[in-house]
Every structure is written in structure tokens, then in C-alpha cells.
A = this chain, B = another copy of it.
Amino acid sequence: MASSSYIPPPSSQPPVSQPFGLRLSPLPHHAHNHSPLTPLSFLLRAALIHPDRLALDHPERGWQLTFSQWAARSLSFAFALAGWEGKGALEGWKGKGTRVAILCPNAPMILDAYHGVLAAGGAVVPLNYRNSKQELGYVLEHSGASIILVDWELKHLVEGSNGQGRTIIVSHDSGGQDPTDPYEQFLSHGRSLWDAAQAAEDREFGPSARRDWELLTTVEETDPLSVCYTSGTTGRPKGVVSTHRGTYLAAVANALESRLEATSRYLWVLPAFHACGWTYPWSCTLSFATQHVLRRVDPATIWQALKTSGVTHYCGAPTVHISLVHHSGAERLPQPVYVAVAASAPTADLLARMESLNLVPVHVYGLTETYGPMTRRYAADSWSGLDVESRAKLMARQGHAFLTAEEARVVRVDAAKGNEPVRDSRGRLVDVRRDGTELGEIAMRGNIVMQGYYADPAATSKVVVGSTIAKGGGDGEWFLSGDLAVRHPGGEVEIRDRAKDVVISGGENVSSLAVESELATHPRVRESCVVARKHEKWGERCHAFVVLNDAEEDKGKAITGEELKKWCRGRMSGFAVPEWIDVVQELPKVSCGRAMKEGKRMRRRMFH
């Protein structure tokens, strides 16, 4: 139940005379036993089953919405975009498939858009507020977005881009408390259209024909749902196209794998624009869980939410957890908090600290191209007996594909040919040996792999490779992740490095990740970042940047790069030992607080 005195505006009030239904209009060709898989159904269902349960809590701005209020708001949103019977549509709305861009911090508007745009039949283009105005200009141009919803704090980033028939709507994030809030006016206009549609239906068919609100959408499950632009490490941003079916199945998997329940409260730490927030906007809703929305997160505010708001789940990058466990406010929580840790698992030290605070890490891996997480490291029964070091080592593997995903393979590549995939005489991709040693590339296919890059067949065909369909059924088309990994005897995947992050030192491949992991085992090292640096003699050599942990007992005890190099020597081949080690106060951060190079690498993973 909503706890405060806040009263939402009429646009966010469920129709009194009409309880919600979750009916989505079937299309003429849909059989009685086919409903398109779309995450839209989750919100309407939550509004029907738990109308008064808290869906969104936005304490910073002093407002919150129940599921029935949020559903009303989202349907008002849809009508405001698409109008009704071709009348009253927003300028810039071009019918089904219209791309609607959203530029917003973690505030309710972006979560509204993840339902309202879909309900209208459009596709969402979530913009990265860390991009430059030029980058955003390119994305808007390339995506063909004709409508932009922008938070007032970010509107300078899209100023002037309302040329070329583009409509811009600004939000004050007021939840209707500010009557001049243009976004709220947009919603009330939508609500009036919705009411008009309803009244007309009553006039024509009489209240006796009155039925649950029926969503007049013509969604097919293979329709595009979003276009998420990934900056990549080179070249222009690419627009990852997701579908309703893929989002539905990814959301179900995330709810299952992270144990979301009706009693859960999910804290938005991950920016909601990243790969549509890894489908958590829908995972929470299908679980009837509350989403705790904060525009700004830092260790202090996260700890406050964990301690005082009963948060049970959040997703974040390793550096987020590192800063949390080292924060002065850190203390053991009464409730377990499930933490989706992406792409690189906690070190033994971090794992121990997290466990002592009741933070339960769930190690997942994926890319924007896989709707966010697609694999999870599943704990084996045999782990229970192991010490934290051994568990951390085992947990570090990226593991196995999600319930609703198809298997994550590691396929053989030819280093001599720039890591081009090897094929057998049938033209099929070949799995690496399951020996934890042979390096190959992670290949994925199935329902939670992107449809492709928007309007970029060339880029798509670079990463989606076909193979001869031969006797034995062939193995179809596969998406190549660009991540180099090994496969363990248990079939789980373990990432070694991004191809482009390998340091080639004296003709030897050095995994910068491996060097970072070794550095992390030093008691004084909090985090590190290893990059390639030109070297006259060896071509390249490792250059490490290291941040020390500032545990009280260590205060003042200086430690030099030399000492750390000594530490490395015993632990890795000579050509891998960093030639240069700089002890720094902080690693230059990018999106989601990843270290710089990580940030680059992670772009093609989940951190955009």
C-alpha cells in the first residue's frame, strides 16, 4: 500500500467503474490457444490481482504508485502517444513501430515508457545520459526516433533536436504534484482520450457490454520492443533490437534466477536505460515486487535504502559492491539481499565481505545483445563444504545459460586468422574441448538473443554467423559474443578476455583479466586495471593501475609498485608481469562505475 499522503493525478487513477483486465486483443489469425508473449501482460495482470500493492516507490521526490495506478498511468501514456481511432495522436507518432526515445535518470518516467510505448505499439529507444550531445544526435538520427521524452535535468542534451518533425516532452519528475509539468499534461491528455474511447464504447454497445479494459494493441511476439544503442569500443553506436517474445522470456528467467517474489523490493542501482534495465522493469512486475527508484545512487544512499526500506535485490557492477563493502555505513543486514553481479564475479575477499553483510551474490553474464544476463553460475551441492577462496574461484566462472535461453557454447577460433571461427566439414561451428584450457569464443542463440542491429545488416552479419544446415539438423545461426572463454568439464563457460583486451607481450597472449585477478589476491589491493602499453623490445607490456583498500589497520602503510611487481612475479609468467604499476587514488570511472577499460569492455557486455 502507498504509505504517504501523496495523491496521484487523475491520469494515474484506475477507472472506478472498471477493474483492469489483462486482455490483449487477439489478432484475427491468432488461434484460441495462442497469445503473443509480451511483457505488457505482466502490468495489467498485477493491476488485476494486486491493485493496491506498491509498484513504484520514489522517495526522493515523495511519491509512489500502486500497480493499478501505474497501469492507469501507462495506459494514459499509450493513449497520449497513439490517440484513439487516429484522432488526438501526438505529433510525431507514426503508428505501429514508431521509435520513441527516452532520456531519463532512474526515475518513474522511463519505467512508464517501458509499458506505455509498448502499449501504443511503439518501440522504446532508451538513451544513455552519459553520451555526449553529438553521440545522442547520431542515435536519434539513426534510430529515426520521432518523439523524445526527456527529464528536465537532461534536456540540454537534446536541445535543438526537435527539428525534423521531432516532438520533445519534458518531465519535471513531479508525479503530478507540479501542475505545470509537461509530462503530466501529456498523461492527462492521454487519459481524456482513454475516457472518451470508453464513453463511445458505452454509447455504442451499452454498459451491459462493458468489460475489462481491453488493450487495443496489435502486438505480435516477434515485433521489436526496444532499440538499445551500444557504444561499442570502435565505430558508431549500434542499435540492438529486442522483441516482445525475447523480453518476456528474459524477464521470466531473471525473476526465477534472482528469486524475485511478491515480498521483494528491487533497488534501481543499474541505470534503467542499460539494455532496458536487464528486463528488471518487467521481472519485478511479473513477481508483484516493488521497484525502489532513486535518481542518484552512491554508497551512502544505497546503504540507507538497504537498512531502512527493506530492499531485497539490486544489480550492479563489481566496483559498486567494492565501494559498498568498504563504506563506513556498512553493517550486516537482517534480510538477505540478492545481488546480481555481472560479468566478473567477486574476489574471495569481496565475497567474504559481502557474505558477512548478508549480501548474496548471483553471478550472471550477458550483453545488451542478450537482453542483459543470459548465463548464471549455478552453485553445485559440493560447494557447501568449501572455504571462501575456493568458492570465489568457482563462482568466478560465467556458468550456464538461463532457463529460457539456449545453451551458451564456446566455439573454436583460429588465432592466425584473427580469431575467425573454425568450421567442420559440414560447415558447422566446433566446440572447444571441455578442459578449461582451450580458448574459444562464446557463441549463443535462441529466444534471448537480439533480433539484430537496427538498420545495420553489415554489423549484424559480422556477429550473427550462419552455418550449413546439413545432415544431423545443422546447428543454425549463432551470435558471436566477442568474448574469449574456456569451457570446463562441467560445461560451464569461463571468460578469459575480450579479444581486444589481450596484451601481446613478446608474441605471447596475456589476459589482462588474469593479471587483474592475481593483483586482486594481494591483501592491500582493492581493485586494479591492466591495459596494454607499447614497449620497444616486447611490442606490448602490461601497465597496471592499482587502488589500495584503506582498511584502518593499513592506514599509512605505504606500498609501492615495485612491491606489487614482486608479488606478481611469483604468480605469473614473466611476460605477463606488469612492466609499470601505478598506485592511484581511484580508477577513472565510466558508466556504472566500471573501471575505464572494463567500461569499454563492458559496453559490449551489459554496461553499455
Contacts and interface: CB of A to CB of B under 8 A. Distances in A.
Interface in A418-475: 424-426, 428, 430-431, 434, 445-451, 464, 469, 472-475
A447 B33 contact: yes
A211 interface: yes
Contacts of A445: 26, 32-33, 35
A35 B479 CA distance: 13
A486 to B, nearest CB: 14
Given A32-B478, A406-B22, A212 B50 contact: no
B243 A476 contact: no
A246 interface: yes
Main secondary structure of the interface of A (DSSP, over half): loop
A214 B19 contact: no
A49 interface: yes
B22 A286 contact: no
Nearest to A217: B473
Contacts of A42: 403
Interface residues of A, number: 81
Stoichiometry, as copies per complex, reads: 2
Contacts of A477: 26, 31-32
A450 B33 CA distance: 6
A446 B381 contact: no
A32 B424 contact: no
A205 B474 contact: no
A464 B26 CA distance: 15
A604 interface: no
27 contacts: A19-B489, A19-B490, A22-B407, A23-B475, A25-B472, A25-B474, A26-B445, A26-B477, A27-B476, A31-B451, A32-B449, A32-B464, A32-B478, A32-B479, A34-B446, A35-B445, A35-B446, A35-B447, A45-B403, A49-B400, A51-B490, A204-B425, A205-B425, A209-B424, A212-B409, A214-B475, A252-B403
A30 B426 CA distance: 18
A392 interface: no
B214 A400 contact: no
> Most chain-B CB neighbours within 10 Å: which of A50, A406, A431, A489?
A406
Interface in A210-248: 210-212, 214, 216, 218, 243, 246
Contact of A252 (B209, B252, B401): B252
A386 interface: no
